[in-house]
Amino acid sequence: MPESSFPSKRLTYLLEVIADEAIAGNDAIFLRDLGCSIREIRVLRIVDDNPGITFVEIWEKSGLERSLTSRILQKLIGDGLLLRTSSGTDARKYYLSTTPKGQALRQRGRVMSDELEALLLAPFSPAERVRLFDQIERLGAWVRSDDYRRALEGFEAPTA
């Protein structure tokens, strides 16, 4: 077995490093070819999938920081990719939807994402990819579960 290039074998560390490095590498390509970052395309996709969505809903679905979500929305609106509509009853609340320009960019982003993901997964056979996704989905479901939260709440550090 080859020596690892990672200084730690901790799962959370490995997942974070892999995600950060993959996003950074892909982000440069997204910016060059689409004029938007991966995170901007993520927000565009969320809005396109959920016309009439609110800021809070986008923020919750995106997993991004609140201030970053706000900056991304302002850029996408300014670039003519999103349309902002007032709720009519609450001046603080507004609804977002994609413009035709935003929908077209979202589709280009989808194709690029698919190709870059295939490149990322190149070391794996199709069967290994299925297993990897199944395991990651299972881990994600566990981390988001009430059982995991309860286990964390009851966790006590081991004594030396």
Same domain for 52 and 105?
yes
Which range of residues forms the domain containing residue 25?
11-120
Q: Is residue 129 part of a domain?
A: yes
Q: Is residue 4 part of a domain?
A: no
Residue 92: give its domain's CATH number.
1.10.10.10
pLDDT tens profile 5-47: 767 788 999 999 999 999 999 999 999 999 999 999 999 999 9
Torsional sign, CA 18, 138, 51, 66: negative
Q: Flag residues of the chain having pLDDT under 70.
A: 1-4, 6
- Joined tokens for residue 132: 């990897």
pTM for this predicted structure: 0.79
Q: Is residue 47 part of a domain?
A: yes
Inter-residue contact 80 to 36 (CB < 8 Å): no
Q: How many structural domains compose the chain?
A: 2
Inter-residue contact 11 to 43 (CB < 8 Å): no
Same domain for 85 and 30?
yes
Same domain for 42 and 28?
yes
